[in-house]
Amino acid sequence: MTAPPAGVAALLALADQRLPSGGHVHSGGVEEAVRGRLVTDGPSLRAFLHRRLLSVGRVTAGLAAAAVGLTAATVARLDAEADARTPSPAQRAASRAQGRGLLRLARASWVGPHVDLAWADLGARPHHPLVLGCAARAAGLGAGEAALVAAYLAVTGPATAAQRLLGLDPVEVAVATLDLGADVDAVARAAAAVAVAATPPSGWHAVPDDGDPLLDLLAERHAARGDRLFAS
Amino acid sequence: MGLFHGDDPHAHTVRTGGPLRVGIGGPVGSGKTALVAALCRTLSDRLSIAVVTNDIYTTEDAEFLRRNAVLPDERISAVQTGCCPHTAIRDDITANLDAVDDLVERFADLDVVLVESGGDNLTASFSKGLVDVQVFVVDVAGGDKVPRKGGPGVTGADLLVINKRDLAPLVGADLDVMTSDADRVRGGRPVALVSLREDPAAGPVVDWLLAELEHHRVHVAGAAPAGAPHARA
C-alpha cells in the first residue's frame, strides 16, 4: 500500500463543504440560473458546473496557487489581480465575504501562513482564493493542492446549492461532481503550473484570466433581488 | 490574554468583552419576530440594541421590524441562509458572525445583539460560538404536547418562552400540562408563559434579559479582550 502524501488530511479538511467558513450561503450563480430556468435538472446542472469550472474554477485555482507564495509585500498586487479577473462587483463581494469567513477559521488554526506573512497582512476582507492559498501554505500544502481545492470548490458549492433549490437526487448531484473529477484535476494542474512558473509579482499577469459574461450577469441580477435565499 | 491561555486549550473560541448576544429560535409562527419587536420597543430607550435576522427570503423579518419602527434601519441586519436556516445558526455560523461583527464595529456602545433564527423545527439550537444565551419560543396553538416532545431547543435553551397563552381555551391546550412538562424536561431552568398580544412589553422576558445582561457585564464583558490564536503550526 502506498502511503498518502503528507498534508492530505488538511487538504481534505479545506475542501470539505462542512468547513465552517460561510460557503453554504453562496450558490455561485446557481440560484439565479435556477430562477432563469437555465438550470432545471441534472444534465443542465452538469453543463453549468462544467462552464463554471472553466472560468471561475480556472481563475480561483490560479490565484490560490499564486497565493501560496504570497508575502506581505505582494498582497496588494495579487488582490488587484483577483479584482481584475472578477469584473462583477457582486462576485467580488461574494469572494471577499467567503475570504473573510475562511480567514476567521485560519486565524484560529494557524499562527500565520509563514514567516514572511501574517494573517493581518491580508486585510479584513481578502479574496477567498488568496486566503485559501495562505491556509494551504500554513497547513504545509503546496500550489498544486491549493489550486485543487479552489477548482473543486468552484464545482461543489453550486452543486450543493442546486440540490437544495431543485430537490435533485443527491446521488445524481454527487455523480455529476465525481464525473467532473478529471476536469477538476486538469484545471488545477494547469493553473498551478502557470502560478509556480510565474515570478511574483510581475509574472502573475499569466495567472488564468478566463471570464464568463453569463456568470457575471447572473451574479449582478441576483444581487439586485430582494428575495434571495443565497448571498450570491 | 496574550500568551497565557490558562488550562483551556480552546481559549481562542471564548469570546470576552462586547455586547450580550442573545439567540432567539423556535418554530415558524411561534412569535420570534414579535418577541424581538417587543424587546426592542421595551428596552431601546435604555439599552443600545441591534438585531440580526435569518429569514427564508432575507428581508421579511427585517422589513417587519423596520415597518414597526422598533429600531433604526441601520441597527437591523438581514442574513441569507442558503435554504438552511438551521445550518446558519449552528453548523456554519460565519454569515451571522460577520453580521454581528459589522454591527459591533458600527455601534461601539452596543449592549445587546438579538440574533433571530429563521423559523425551524424543534431540533434547532444556536452554536455557543454565535450567542451567549438563547431563548426558544413555542406557542400554545402549536399543541400542548410540544414541551413534552422536547428537542434541543425546548430542553437546552436558557429561557423557554411559551407564547399565545391567551389562545389556550380556544385550541384546547392545557397550560398546566405545558409548564409542568417543560419544567420536567428542562431541569428547572426558566420558562415564561406569555401572551405578546396581551402583554406587548414582554415583561417576564425583559426581566430575564436584564438579569442575563447584568451577569454578562460582571462575568464576561469586564474581562480581558479576546486572546490570540493558539500555536499549532
Residue at B188 is within a domain: yes
pLDDT, tens only, B29-43:
999 999 999 999 999
Give yes or no for a contact between A127 and A121, defined as CB atoms under 8 angstroms apart. Answer: no
Q: Which residues contact B172 (CB under 8 A, 6 or more apart)?
A: none
| Residues paired with B114 in a beta bridge | B22, B51
Strands (E), B27-179: 49-53, 76-78, 112-116, 133-139, 159-163
Q: What's B122's domain CATH number?
A: 3.40.50.300
Residue at B10 is within a domain: no
Q: How far is A164 from chain B (nearest CA, A)?
A: 7
Q: Do B58 and A24 count as a contact with CB atoms less than 8 A apart? A: no
Please state whether the predicted TM-score (pTM) of the whole model is above 0.90: no
Where in the sequence is the domain holding B39, given as residue range(s)?
16-218
Greater pLDDT, A3 or A204:
A204
In chain A, which residues have their Cβ closer than 8 Å to the Cβ of B57? 226-229
In chain A, which residues have their Cβ closer than 8 Å to the Cβ of B13? 108
The total number of structural domains in chain A stands at 1
The overall average pLDDT reported for chain A is: 96
pLDDT surpassing 60 at residue A14 = yes
Residue of B nearest to A27 (CA): B82
Which residue of A19, A104, A229 is in closest CB contact with B97? A104
pLDDT of residue B66: 81
Where in the sequence is the domain holding A171, given as residue range(s)?
28-221
The total number of structural domains in chain B stands at 1
Residue at B40 is within a domain: yes
pLDDT of residue B118: 87
Residue at B223 is within a domain: no
pLDDT of residue B58: 57
Q: Do B88 and A24 count as a contact with CB atoms less than 8 A apart? A: yes
Residue of B nearest to A136 (CA): B233
In chain A, which residues have their Cβ closer than 8 Å to the Cβ of B93? 20
Which residue of B58, B94, B231 is in closest CB contact with A104? B94
Q: How far is A197 from chain B (nearest CA, A)?
A: 27
Residue at B56 is within a domain: yes
pLDDT, tens only, B179-217:
999 999 999 899 999 999 999 999 999 999 999 999 999
pLDDT of residue B8: 43
pLDDT, tens only, A26-76:
999 999 999 999 999 999 999 999 999 999 999 999 999 999 999 999 999
Average pLDDT for runs of 10 along chain B of length 233: 40 65 94 94 95 79 80 92 90 96 96 92 90 96 90 94 96 94 93 95 97 92 45 37
Q: Angle at CA B23, nearest 5°, toward B22 and B25?
A: 150
Percent of chain A with pLDDT over 70: 100
Q: What's A102's domain CATH number?
A: 1.10.4190.10
- 10 Å CB burial of residue B114 (0-12, 13-18, 19+) is buried
Report strand pairing: B112-116 vs B191-193.
unpaired
Residue at A7 is within a domain: no
Q: How far is B228 from chain A (nearest CA, A)?
A: 8
Which of helix, strand or coil describes residue A215? helix
Residue of A nearest to B91 (CA): A20
To probe the interface with B, which of A168, A229, A230, A232 has the most B CB atoms within 10 Å? A229
pLDDT of residue B225: 43
Residue at A13 is within a domain: no
Residue at B169 is within a domain: yes
Which of helix, strand or coil describes residue A49? helix
Greater pLDDT, A148 or B219:
A148
Write the single-letter amino acid at A190.
A
Please give the Cα distance from B196 to B191 (Å, whole number): 15
pLDDT surpassing 80 at residue A186 = yes
Residue at A159 is within a domain: yes
Residue at A2 is within a domain: no
pLDDT of residue B173: 94
